[in-house]
Amino acid sequence: MAGPSDFERATTKEVRMSAALPNEPTFRESVDLMYNRAVALMDLPPGLEEKIRVCNATYTVRFGVRLRGQIQTFVGYRSVHSEHMEPVKGGIRFASAVNQDEVEALAALMTYKCALVEAPFGGSKGGLCIDPRQYDEHEMEMITRRFAYELSKRDLIHPAQNVPAPDMGTGEREMAWIADQYARMNTTDINARACVTGKPLNAGGIAGRVEATGRGVQYALREFFRHEEDKAAAGLTGTLDGKRVIVQGLGNVGYHAAKFLQNEDGAIITGIIEHDGALFSPDGLDVEAVREWIVKHGGVSGYPAANHVSDGATVMEEDCDILIPAALEGVINLSNADRIKANLIIEAANGPVTAGADDILREKGVVIIPDMYANAGGVTVSYFEWVKNLSHIRFGRMQRRQEEARHELVLTELERLDEAMGDKWNLDARFKDRYLRGADELELVRSGLDDTMRIAYQSMREVWHNRDDVTDLRTAAYIVAIDKVAKSYRAKGL
Ligand code: GLU
């Protein structure tokens, strides 16, 4: 897929929702509060505790682009939180309300996220203050290339030092421009394609990157539902089949998560919240049809097959089993946390629950699968893409046919034995087809992502269940991640 439908859309209304949080710490302070909560239960030397928490550097750039006959100035950021591993990694966000506090919070989350899922990167994040809907494609290309030029010349885009990716307001198209801009500036760099991930397939991308974050949310939920003890903590039983799910934000992440949960796990999507209101239907919404409507009409208003609720945020407070905030930070905050009825919240967005709301929800017994784990599918598949770019070969190219040949050998032998025994087995034709087929890149990517999500979940739940002083998955996630970062620093002699 290409074009605006790939985007995590950042609308001015959503931006207002996240900014209007009186009496609450900023996003970065909120991340620090959560970090401090975990660190208080660890045994780190105070100096290291601070070293890991603080953001190493944030670069601010103001550049001009001549558009429609006059120069327009844009403000952009690239923040590097921790370089305990290089390159550092994290998306670039295009939204009107991007600011230094936000990119620093997001960069910190990238550090912890990469550590938790064992993607060998430090944490970084970028942002450009822009409403992409105000510009046409050619203008967006000029602005993006100029921003990429400013970052590249300071090695803030670089295959070995800093590798951006898509985030809210950006997608494959922007990543292709960034990759090309870097290649133009570094004509002899054989690894130029590895300077950014989330590229289209024809520009060095990898199969399954667009769906990756949503797919990761699905794999995370599947893993959660494999553990009786964990389901019991959330007051849930059974499987995902028939569970009522509300999704806030049907951008790239929310759409893929909702679609996969509906089509492959039998979940019922009862609510979809967008910037112009929400759709609610206890019998379930057709995710694909709603998405098509949004792409065509710019929002959910007017969608014929469900009730439209103009104050969309109130739908987050409806009764449901699973709530998936998949848009902006701070949407569950002190003003609405006590009215949330979901048993389980899975944070597909970064920072959707403020530190204050987290306290309230924990008290209420709501289980939260935290952002640094829940949305790590994106960076995990980015890692695979980066490795693919550095190895200059598509995954599966060497093994696929060899794998098929070996499977063929087994099947031929089984059939020979069956014949010798008088045709008793009658092998199913569908099994034969499926068994014979060697894995292509998409299958390998999904398998690697599934494995990553399972292992990371198990590392969190072990801390959650085995330590009396840890009562929630977020603190457990921070402890696992911080411990890994601390070990890297120690190995460096710090
Ligand atoms: N922007 C995504 C995130 O927040 C992806 C980052 C990446 O792939 O580097 O995790």
pLDDT tens-digit readout, 278-305: 999 999 999 999 999 999 999 999 999 9
Residues whose CB is less than 8 angstroms from the CB of residue 123 and which lie 6 or more positions away in sequence, other chains included: 80, 81, 82, 88, 89, 90, 107, 108, 109, 110, 111, 112, 113, 114
Would you say the CB of residue 89 lies under 6 angstroms from ligand 1?
yes
Determine what percent of the chain is predicted with pLDDT higher than 70.
96
Is 179:192 a contact under the CB 8 Å cutoff?
yes
pLDDT tens, position by position, 351-388: 999 999 999 999 999 999 999 999 999 999 999 999 99
Would you say the CB of residue 257 lies under 6 angstroms from ligand 1?
no
Ligand 1, closest atom to CA 197? 8
Distance 157 CA to ligand 1 centre (A): 14
Distances (CA, A) of 410 to 80, 396, 407: 52, 20, 5
Q: What pTM value is reported for the model?
A: 0.94
pLDDT at 92 > cutoff 50? yes
Q: Which residues are catalytic?
A: 125
Q: Which residues pair with 268 in a beta bridge?
A: 244
Q: How far is it, in rounded angstroms, from Cα 301 to Cα 307?
A: 10
Would you say the CB of residue 382 lies under 6 angstroms from ligand 1?
yes
Of the candidates 253, 262, 274, the one whose C-alpha atom is nearest the C-alpha of residue 346 is 253
Ligand 1, closest atom to CA 91? 1
What's the mean pLDDT in 458-475? Answer: 98
Mean per-residue pLDDT over the chain, rounded:
94
Ligand 1, closest atom to CA 166? 1
Q: Determine the pLDDT at residue 249.
A: 98
247 three-class SS: strand
pLDDT tens, position by position, 379-392: 999 999 999 999 99
Would you say the CB of residue 167 lies under 6 angstroms from ligand 1?
yes
Q: Determine the pLDDT at residue 315.
A: 98
23 three-class SS: coil
Distance 425 CA to ligand 1 centre (A): 49
Ligand 1, closest atom to CA 376? 10
Confidence of residue 492 (pLDDT cuts 50, 70, 90): confident
Poorest-confidence range of 85-94, 442-451, 483-492?
483-492
Ligand 1, closest atom to CA 106? 4
Distance 350 CA to ligand 1 centre (A): 10
Ligand 1, closest atom to CA 381? 8
Would you say the CB of residue 333 lies under 6 angstroms from ligand 1?
no
What's the mean pLDDT in 139-152? Answer: 98
Would you say the CB of residue 271 lies under 6 angstroms from ligand 1?
no
pLDDT at 12 > cutoff 90? no
Q: To test the ligand 1 pocket, which listed residue (78, 158, 213, 449) has its Cβ within 8 A of the most ligand atoms? A: 213
Please name the residue whose Cα sits nearest to atom 8 of ligand 1: 379
Would you say the CB of residue 111 lies under 6 angstroms from ligand 1?
no
b or e along 216-226 (b: 16 or more beta carbons within 10 Å of the residue's beta carbon)? Answer: bbbbbbbbbbe
Is 489:483 a contact under the CB 8 Å cutoff?
no
Q: Which residues pair with 93 in a beta bridge?
A: 127
Of the candidates 135, 124, 168, 126, the one whose C-alpha atom is nearest the C-alpha of residue 14 is 168
Would you say the CB of residue 343 lies under 6 angstroms from ligand 1?
no
pLDDT tens, position by position, 419-441: 998 888 778 888 889 999 999 99
Distance 405 CA to ligand 1 centre (A): 37
Q: To test the ligand 1 pocket, which listed residue (27, 167, 175, 256) has its Cβ within 8 A of the most ligand atoms? A: 167
pLDDT at 38 > cutoff 50? yes
Is 112:162 a contact under the CB 8 Å cutoff?
no
Would you say the CB of residue 82 lies under 6 angstroms from ligand 1?
no
Task: Please name the residue that has the structure tokens 């209101």.
Answer: 277
Confidence of residue 137 (pLDDT cuts 50, 70, 90): very high
Q: Which residues pair with 90 in a beta bridge?
A: none
Is 331:278 a contact under the CB 8 Å cutoff?
no
Strand order from edge to edge, sheet including 322-325: 307-309, 277-280, 268-274, 244-248, 322-325, 344-346, 367-369
pLDDT at 18 > cutoff 90? no
Distance 207 CA to ligand 1 centre (A): 16
* Six-digit token string for 410: 């087994």
Q: To test the ligand 1 pocket, which listed residue (88, 110, 350) has its Cβ within 8 A of the most ligand atoms? A: 110
pLDDT at 118 > cutoff 60? yes
Burial of 152 (0-12, 13-18, 19+ CB in 10 A): buried
Of the candidates 207, 204, 176, the one whose C-alpha atom is nearest the C-alpha of residue 392 is 204
Would you say the CB of residue 91 lies under 6 angstroms from ligand 1?
yes
Would you say the CB of residue 358 lies under 6 angstroms from ligand 1?
no
Distance 382 CA to ligand 1 centre (A): 8
pLDDT tens, position by position, 294-350: 999 999 999 999 999 999 999 999 999 999 999 999 999 999 999 999 999 999 999
